[in-house]
Amino acid sequence: MDFNLSEEHIMIREAARNFAQTELLPGVIERDEKQQFPDTLVKKMGELGFLGVMVDPKYGGSGMDAISYVIIMEELSKIDASASVIVSVNNSLVCYGMEAFGSEAQKEKYLTKLATGEYIGAFCLSEPEAGSDATSQKTTAIDKGDYYLLNGTKNWITNGGRADVYLVIAQTDRDKGSHGINAFIIEKGMEGFHIGPKENKLGIRGSDTHTLQFNDVKVPKENRIGDDGSGFRFAMKTLAGGRIGIAAQALGIASGAYELALKYSKERKAFGTEICNHQAIAFKLADMHTEIEAARHLVMKAAWDKDQGNDYNVSSATAKLFASTVAMRHTTEAVQIHGGNGFVKEYHVERLMRDAKITQIYEGTSEIQKIVISRTLTRD
């Protein structure tokens, strides 16, 4: 077993770290305060290949592995989790969903643009009454012969106002339960598709989150992804990969906060010495280091499973459950180590603490991850 990163992975980490430090860091506080979407930075991330990391180069992607993807996600998330969620949704949910399940024509038309950042994608599963309980979709897509007629509301959609392409999950035959669900490609501007107001959020405020409304949207038949009735499986498989990206985001938020806390504790003096020399602080740092290292191993294992072609349903849920818990706990500790300075924006840790919370909620709450893990453990 080799725990060393390859030369290539080290280079990717340097590129992502350099981009985060030089491009994301300078405006991150302002974007958070003003809820500004990082348009220009998203374009730059597209140019660097960060928006189609694992996509086959024949569709314009970078053709890298999942290990590279989590390395990039960790580095971006140390500095700006709003930027990294845009990367995560575009890569794990939209590009992966389309590459794994889409038709050749869909890949030619959409994936080639999504992988380069010319288009941004959104993934629309959650509804006002179907967030965790994903089979209870109220959004319907009724087969009208030449087209599907789409009606319903989707909530908390990342990239909601900025996306060009939306993957929308809808019920086509209620009697068939999870086998009566399909996924569709919806383009911005289709008649009857309305983007609701932007959410005013606790964290990841630089990302763009909206409610979406579909009123009698005529969806061409060729925009259905995969076989009839395959939409729930599509969503679950896609989310399993998405959880690897969010686990890496949580890891990045935690390690970003830890690095800031470590640096601060070596500079700040109290009672005649740097505060890292007080055991109360030193023990916090040891706990942070230990749990972040454990989270990194789980994230890497889930990414490795994906690269090997192993089932990653449980390893991705395990990584997300643990890394998001660590992110919440240790960003709070990082604020504590900073004392009063931790409570003001210029020290960055309060933002990381606010951003950490969403990693315990989106792409399945921590409770959902426990359902996914325990079901497999208890299966006969």
Report, as residue numbers or ranges, the catalytic residues. Answer: 363
Q: Which residue has the tokens 């080290």?
A: 10
Complex with ligand CAA: residue 37 or 347, whichever CB lies closer:
37
Quick check: 24 and 76 in contact, CB under 8 A?
yes
Site string for ligand CAA, 102-141 (x = CB under 6 A): ---------------------x-xx----xx-xx------
* Region from 34-42, 181-189, 298-306, 363-371 binding ligand CAA, contact rule CB under 6 A: 363-371
Q: Residue 65 has which token pair?
A: 């592995």
Complex with ligand CAA: residue 250 or 349, whichever CB lies closer:
250
- Amino acid sitting at position 124: C
21 sits near ligand CAA (criterion: CB under 6 A): no
183 sits near ligand CAA (criterion: CB under 6 A): no
| Alpha carbons 165 and 178: distance in angstroms, whole number | 24
Using the rule CB under 6 A, which residue among 16, 170, 240, 248 binds ligand CAA?
A: 240
| Alpha carbons 260 and 353: distance in angstroms, whole number | 12
Min CB(250)–ligand CAA separation in Å? 12
Identify the bridge partners of residue 209 per DSSP, sorted by sequence position.
158
52 Cβ contact list (under 8 Å, min separation 6): 46, 59, 60, 61, 62, 90, 91, 95, 111, 114, 115, 116, 117
Q: Given the DSSP bridges, would you call strands 209-220 and 193-198 parallel, antiparallel or unpaired? A: antiparallel
Stretch (H or E) spanning 274: strand 273-274
Please list every residue from 305 through 324 that binds ligand CAA, using CB under 6 A: 313
Min CB(150)–ligand CAA separation in Å? 18
Min CB(313)–ligand CAA separation in Å? 5
* Region from 37-45, 277-285, 320-328, 362-370 binding ligand CAA, contact rule CB under 6 A: 362-370
362 sits near ligand CAA (criterion: CB under 6 A): yes
Please list every residue from 161 through 180 that binds ligand CAA, using CB under 6 A: 178
Site string for ligand CAA, 134-153 (x = CB under 6 A): xx------------------
244 sits near ligand CAA (criterion: CB under 6 A): no
| Alpha carbons 179 and 253: distance in angstroms, whole number | 37
Query: Could you say which DSSP state residue 220 is in?
Result: E
Quick check: 109 and 165 in contact, CB under 8 A?
no
- Amino acid sitting at position 44: K
**Which burial class, exposed, middle or buried, applies to 262 when counting CB atoms under 10 A from its CB (0-12, 13-18, 19+)?**
middle
**Cα Dmax for the chain:** 79
Q: Residue 148 has which token pair?
A: 């599907």
Min CB(283)–ligand CAA separation in Å? 34
Site string for ligand CAA, 197-236 (x = CB under 6 A): -----------------------------------xx--x
Identify the bridge partners of residue 193 per DSSP, sorted by sequence position.
214
How many residues in the shown chain lie near ligand CAA by CB under 6 A? 23
Min CB(84)–ligand CAA separation in Å? 11
Complex with ligand CAA: residue 158 or 255, whichever CB lies closer:
158
Q: Which residue has the tokens 């315990």?
A: 360
Residues that bind ligand CAA (CB under 6 A): 89, 123, 125-126, 131-132, 134-135, 158, 178, 232-233, 236-237, 239-240, 313, 362-364, 368, 371-372
